[in-house]
Amino acid sequence: MYGCPLIVDTRTAFSLFSLSMYVGLDMSLTSPGITILDKKSKTVSLLFIPQRVSERMLTFETDYAGYHYTIRPVSGEMAPRTSSQDTRIYYIVQSISKELAALPRPISVIIEGYAFGMRSSSHSILHELGGALKCKLFQMGIPYTTTAPTSVKKMFANDGRASKRVMYEKFLSVTHIDLFCVFRMQDKSIGLKIPTPIQDIVDSFALVAQHL
């Protein structure tokens, strides 16, 4: 029988394996965030899909609390600016799968689940992206788990309703990396909005932070 794998319970998944490699995926049609945590080598790679030409060459490295952090764009080509949504989904899935193919096995891939309370055309397309990615993971033989957004916020920020601003402040306290500085963006510190790709990187990091 063929098809995509069923969602696995995050409480019991991978219990039979001794894992040291964790990947957090925050799905977005603009700039998905990917965090690769390698406990064996004590490295954390924070990856993003560039939206601006200036981001294509961006790299940043630092050490903190025993871990070496790297921020860089994913390998592969940028989707054309005028590309359709289907084309964009293809580029995103290809970029992510290329990064995952380069990792040693076994790995634990953790995907942030859907916010089912949201009803809009953009969220429907996001579901299409999620389905395409999960089918690609199945094709590659990579198992995955999903975690509800409220659970991610609860585990990371101790608040299932934490705002993007609160999540960013928690990321900053854990890593001591000022992403606004890295991306040369001005943090106006007014309101709760956090721009992409910063919010996407933070959310993907939150998915694996408990394994640090």
Residues 63-99 pLDDT 10s: 999 999 999 999 877 776 667 888 889 999 999 999 9
- Pick 7 or 136 by higher pLDDT: 136
CA distance 33 to 164: 14
E runs forming strands in the chain: 21-26, 33-38, 43-48, 60-64, 67-73, 108-112, 144-147
CA distance 42 to 125: 36
- Pick 193 or 88 by higher pLDDT: 88
Please say if the pLDDT value at position 171 is more than 90.
yes
What three-state secondary structure class fits 119?
coil
Percent of the chain with pLDDT strictly greater than 90: 67
Give pLDDT, residue 125.
87
Question: What are 121's two structure tokens?
Answer: 């055309």
CA distance 126 to 111: 13
Please say if the pLDDT value at position 9 is more than 50.
no
For the residues 7-12, what does the mean pLDDT come to? 44
8 A C-beta contact, residue 32 and residue 132: no
